[in-house]
Structure 1
Amino acid sequence: MPITLNDEAAQVAFGEMLGQALAGRGQVHLIGDLGAGKTTLARGILRAYGHVGAVKSPTYTLVEPYETASARIFHFDLYRLGDPEELEFMGARDMLGSDALCLIEWPSRGAGWLPVPDLEVRLQLVSDGRRVSGTAYSQQGRAVLARMPACLSHKEDEC
């Protein structure tokens, strides 16, 4: 069941809840059009781990690492990725294979190279804010959805 988030504060709060449910690990694909709020959601997730600084989309650097007391987080933005093989050259395999949390915006740009995520979060612009929905692709992703109080779907792998 999709959830509507009425404003930026609601998006950040939802991101914090999601961050707590993720428990500092896994791969999350953030999907949505430009301006849908992927980076805002990432900011909320990072706040769940105590990050208080700015969070900007790493559009030009492709990845921004964050170290907190409780988690290592890699925030990817693949919008400007020329070829999925570039991920290999920048060492993404090590980042994705580590015991870290990886947030990936524009994962379609890495298609064929990126592994299947634990969780896919879709953001859609709607007249009254943003609509967010999620789909789990692993046992870990299903456990995250189960821990989210706002996920009321009857399906175990979607919210």
Structure 2
Amino acid sequence: MLLLLDVLCLAGVLWCAWLIAGLLRGEAPLATGVAVPVAAALVLPGFIAGIVTNRRALRGRRPQSWFIREVWAPPVELPRWALAAAGVAVLAFWVAGISAFAGISENPRPGDQAQDRQVRHEQRFALGVLGGVGVGGTATAAATLIRDRRSRSPY
């Protein structure tokens, strides 16, 4: 099940990247009401699964709080090149989302063209956030899958 959620999360990342590329070219491939919910539906389950499955039991010294038995751990099982690629992808989505703020204004100029431009910037921001979240979810779920495979391996 985690593998399926990881693949869906990766599909959501590619979906966001494709839509952002179209928005940067000045065209809106899909309406915001379709593009953003589909991206969220693809990305969020894998992100949640990656976060939930990357918990580790505390070892060694007893925790000071009786209710803290597990902590979240970063995806250290991934190779360094994969972590670096994930970092670059998160940065790219972050830049795409944050740079959309430059075009968002509180009072857009009257006219359909200005309104369309405003909607494209808002869509790019939402897709940038979801794309970055999807990269994180894909990385954490992949790290869990690698850790599980290593723990089951007889070697």
TM-score interval, smaller chain = under 0.3
TM-score (norm 2): 0.24
Greater fraction of residues in strand: 1
TM-score (norm 1): 0.24
- Give the number of the structure with larger relative contact order, counting CA–CA contacts within 8 Å between residues 6 or more apart: 2
